[in-house]
Amino acid sequence: MSTADAIRALTAGNLIHLPTETVYGLGARADDPAAVIKVFEAKGRPRFNPLIVHVGTLEQAEAIGAFDDRARVLAKAFWPGPLTLVVPAKDTNAACDLARAGLDSVALRMPAHPQALEVLKGVAFGVVAPSANRSGRPSPTTAADAADETGAFVDVTLDGGACPVGVESTVVSLLGDARYLRAGAVTRAQVEAVIGPLAADEAEGHRSPGRLSLHYAPDAPVRINVENPSPGSAYLAFGPVTYDGPVVQLSGARDVNEAAARLFSALRAADKLYPPVIEVAPIPQDGIGEAINDRLKRAAGFVG
């Protein structure tokens, strides 16, 4: 399937799998409630959880959301790339109510993936694209994994190869004081280097509505920060390991970027062994490590 097929399907109000640098998205046109509702149905996603609108140009983003200087400078610094900006909604038809889950804000992102950009620049509307997994499950990072999760609901699966980043975009809210809502490849420190200090995290109420407690979860229970795996468990290793049970290596060289790129496919691979439990080595908090640990804590059901 080609980007032209994807453009045709989107224009007709149908769903596609959209490869991005982070994870595969389940795409639909953001200006058509009848198309957007299919996304919620395919994912089994609660309607109160708003979607990210993906755009191909900064001008398009600025037509949909109200950009202040902070938004502009962040977009200049990190777009196209794994950063989502939450700003006041400006055109509430371009990002329909259902896409925004009724909020008066909108999340916008320009992904750094050649096929995604070709599709997004080839249509006259924004494209909602949550991760293409069923709600609560690990995000897909290959076209095959996307097809396994939600293939029955899409017209076109665009195969853009394995996602190089592997965890979802960083989400920063610019409603009032800037806040880091979801950790991703763009770190808190990188955001602060551009717009100055971020507000401290506190109440979950300030965080993304979609930050559910059990998320990114494979079928087997997940236990994290495990140095010495217990007999029978499937072990996600980070560096050299002596365990003689099943091991899926996140990064033999202890590289957090490589571990992020492999994280979700490793969880899927471990699940296919039907282990009683998946145990995961401690991962350092450096760089994208914060995002990895955030996803792992949720996969383990630790975050309320």
Distance in angstroms (rounded) separating the CA atoms of residues 39 and 130: 8
Task: Tell me whether residue 50 is exposed, middle or buried, using C-beta atoms within 10 angstroms of its C-beta: 0 to 12, 13 to 18, 19 or more.
Answer: buried
Distance in angstroms (rounded) separating the CA atoms of residues 135 and 132: 9
Please give the DSSP secondary-structure letter assigned to residue 95: S
- Closest contact distance (angstroms) between CB of 66 and Mg ion is 25
Binding pattern for the stretch 127-156 against Mg ion, x by CB under 5 A and - elsewhere: ----x-------------------------
How many residues bind Mg ion (CB under 5 A)? The answer is 1
What, of Mg ion, ligand TXA, none, does residue 111 touch, CB below 5 to 8 Å by kind? ligand TXA
Closer CB to ligand TXA, 18 or 237, in the complex: 18
- Closest contact distance (angstroms) between CB of 146 and Mg ion is 12
Closer CB to ligand TXA, 159 or 246, in the complex: 159
Q: Are 162 and 261 in contact (CB under 8 A)?
A: yes
Closer CB to ligand TXA, 226 or 259, in the complex: 259
**Of 94, 131, 124, 166, the residue nearest 17 (C-alpha):** 131
- Closest contact distance (angstroms) between CB of 237 and ligand TXA is 25
Closer CB to ligand TXA, 131 or 233, in the complex: 131
What, of ligand TXA, Mg ion, none, does residue 262 touch, CB below 5 to 8 Å by kind? none
- Closest contact distance (angstroms) between CB of 158 and ligand TXA is 12
Closer CB to ligand TXA, 100 or 268, in the complex: 100
In this structure, what token pair is assigned to residue 227? Answer: 């140095």
What amino acid is encoded at 216 in this protein?
Y
- Closest contact distance (angstroms) between CB of 99 and ligand TXA is 8
Closer CB to ligand TXA, 137 or 234, in the complex: 137
- Closest contact distance (angstroms) between CB of 252 and ligand TXA is 26
Closer CB to ligand TXA, 38 or 182, in the complex: 182
Torsion sign (Cα): 260, 187, 83, 112: negative
User: Interaction with Mg ion in 103-132: which residues (CB under 5 A)?
Assistant: 131
Residue closest to Mg ion (Cβ): 131
What, of ligand TXA, Mg ion, none, does residue 285 touch, CB below 5 to 8 Å by kind? none
What amino acid is encoded at 46 in this protein?
P
- Secondary-structure breakdown of the chain: helix, strand, coil percentages, each rounded to the nearest 5: 30, 15, 50
Distance in angstroms (rounded) separating the CA atoms of residues 99 and 47: 9
Torsion sign (Cα): 86, 92, 93, 96: positive
Beta sheet of 234-237, edge-to-edge order: 222-223, 278-280, 234-237, 247-249
- The binding site for ligand TXA (CB under 6 A) comprises 20, 22-23, 25, 49-52, 84, 86, 100, 103, 105-107, 109, 111, 129-131, 168-169, 171, 173, 181-182, 208-211
CA 67 → CA 29, 75, 98, 148, distances in Å?
Answer: 21, 10, 21, 37
- Closest contact distance (angstroms) between CB of 62 and Mg ion is 25
- Closest contact distance (angstroms) between CB of 215 and ligand TXA is 9
CA 62 → CA 55, 80, 123, 151, 259, distances in Å?
Answer: 10, 14, 16, 32, 34
Closer CB to ligand TXA, 183 or 283, in the complex: 183
What amino acid is encoded at 268 in this protein?
R
Longest dimension (CA), the chain: 57
Q: Which residues bind Mg ion (CB under 5 A)?
A: 131
